[in-house]
Amino acid sequence: MKIDLSGKVALVTGASRGIGAAIARGLSDSGASVALHYNKNREEAESVISELNSTSKMFQADLSSSDSTIQLFEQVITTFGKLEILICNAGIAIESNADKEISHWIEDWSMTMAVNLEATGILNRLAVNQFMESGGGRIINISSRAAFRGDTKDYLAYAASKGGVVALTRSIARSYGKQGIKAFNVAPGFVRTDMAQDFMDAYGEEYALNDIALPELTEPKDLAPTVVFLASGLADHATGCTIDINAGSYVH
Tens-digit pLDDT profile for residues 213-227:
898 889 999 999 999
- pLDDT over 90 at 194, yes or no: no
Quick one: which of 29, 18, 16, 14 has its CA closest to 231? 29
Residue bearing the bigger pLDDT, 204 or 11: 11
Query: What domains, with CATH codes, occur in the chain?
Result: 9-245 (3.40.50.720)
At 43-66, the pLDDT tens digits run 999 999 999 999 999 999 999 999
At 57-113, the pLDDT tens digits run 999 999 999 999 999 999 999 999 999 999 999 999 999 988 899 999 999 999 999
At 113-143, the pLDDT tens digits run 999 999 999 999 999 999 999 999 999 999 9
Per-residue pLDDT band for 199 (boundaries 50, 70, 90) equals low
Alpha-carbon separation of residue 210 from 76, 249, 250 (angstroms): 42, 9, 13
Q: Is the pTM of this model over 0.85?
A: yes
Residue 99 makes CB contacts below 8 A (sequence gap 6+) with none
User: What is the enclosing helix (H) or strand (E) of 196?
Assistant: helix 194-203
Quick one: which of 53, 49, 52 has its CA closest to 37? 49
**Per residue in 141-165, is it b (16+ CB within 10 Å) or e — as a string?**
bbbbbbbbeebeebbbbbbbbbbbb
Quick one: which of 63, 83, 84 has its CA closest to 72? 63
Instruction: Give the residue numbers marked as catalytic.
Output: 158
